[in-house]
Amino acid sequence: MTDTDNTAPKSHGRKTLRPSLKPRALMEDAQLANTWTAQVITLFPDSFPGVLGQSLTGKALKDGLWQLDAIDLRPFGIGKHRNVDDTPAGGGAGMVLRPDVVGAAIELAQQRAQVPLPLIYLSPRGKPFTQSMAKSLAAGPGVTLLCGRFEGVDERVLEHYGVTEVSLGDYVLTGGEIAAQALLDASVRLIPGVLGNADSAEEESHSNGLLEHPQYTKPADWQGRHIPDVLMSGHHGQIAKWRQEMSEALTKARRPDMWQAALGSKTTD
């Protein structure tokens, strides 16, 4: 990989980074210190920032509230064709990302990071991603994400680097990139300053263990359907009570697992 190589890692945000495998250039291209950092190791760096470049997360990226470094896995590939994968040991369908290739990309990511970052492999085998994980990532220095493709990543690389596997849900995606963007979106919006006052995260679904109450806006009458009177009453106490009751009823009906957990935490309070 050279400095002019268009497969070089692509960085987004206020500072343009031109990473290279050369140690001197690596130091010159160090990521910004004290800025929440997302490193994404992927075979498809052009898919970043993707939707993260829009709206609040996009503005925050431009404003330097976080930085994004998409590290292309391909240049770490083996031989003339930069092969990144090989057939599964023991046989079977598909291909597996090689540990030497993925390992070299992780090493580069770790050298480029200003501080150690948690290392996550997006994987349907992982522990389910939650709002509390997003909160804890947002409170830290950032994250390094490894996007799998094909049948996934050689197990040894996950063991060697102590990688945490995180799943976006009980279904199988073609690759980790969409999962990475979802995880980053949920985390970045919780970095202080990213959401405006009007977009407070404190009363949202999952932030207090309950689903959010229904929301309404103008017009007051739409297709013969009216906004509940209490919301038009201007009585803040009654509005808050109605919202809490609706929130509890919705959670009970739609997510009995969450409702049981909420009851449990009430009795231990």
Binding site for ligand SAM (CB under 6 A): 122-125, 147-149, 151-152, 167-169, 171-176, 179
Please report how close the Cβ of residue 155 comes to ligand SAM at its closest, in angstroms.
11
Q: Could you tell me the smallest distance in angstroms from the CB atom of residue 111 to ligand SAM?
A: 23
How many alpha carbons fall within 13 Å on the CB side of residue 2?
2
Beta carbon of residue 121, minimum distance to ligand SAM (angstroms, whole number): 7
Which of residues 149 and 213 has its CB atom nearest to ligand SAM in the complex?
A: 149
Least Cα distance to 179 among 58, 40, 60, 68 occurs for 40
Task: Give the shortest CB-96-to-ligand SAM separation in angstroms.
Answer: 9
Tell me whether residue 83 or residue 265 sits nearer to ligand SAM (CB atom).
83
Nearer to ligand SAM, 163 or 179 (CB): 179
Say if residues 176 and 148 touch (Cβ distance below 8 Å): yes
Give the residues across from 142 on adjacent strands. 37
Smallest separation (angstroms) from ligand SAM to the CB of 79: 23
Q: Which is nearer to ligand SAM, 29 or 177 (CB)?
A: 177
CA angle (118 as vertex; 22, 32 as ends), nearest 5: 50
The DSSP secondary-structure symbol of 82 reads: T
Q: How far is the CB of 151 from ligand SAM (least distance, A)?
A: 4
Q: Shortest Cβ distance from residue 65 to ligand SAM (Å)?
A: 25
CB distance 191 to 140 below 8 Å: no
- Measured at CB, which residue is nearest to ligand SAM? 148
Output 37 or 42, the one with its CB closest to ligand SAM: 42
| Rounded alpha-carbon distances, angstroms, from residue 94 to 72, 85, 165, 171 | 21, 10, 20, 18
Q: Which is nearer to ligand SAM, 52 or 173 (CB)?
A: 173
The residues pairing with 10 across neighbouring beta strands, listed in sequence order, are 70
Name, in order, each residue with C-beta under 8 angstroms of 55's C-beta and a sequence gap of 6 or more: none
Q: How far apart are CA 14 and CA 33, in angstroms?
A: 13
Long-range contact set of residues 197-204: C-beta below 8 Å, sequence gap at least 24:
199/56
Complex with ligand SAM: residue 45 or 209, whichever CB lies closer: 45
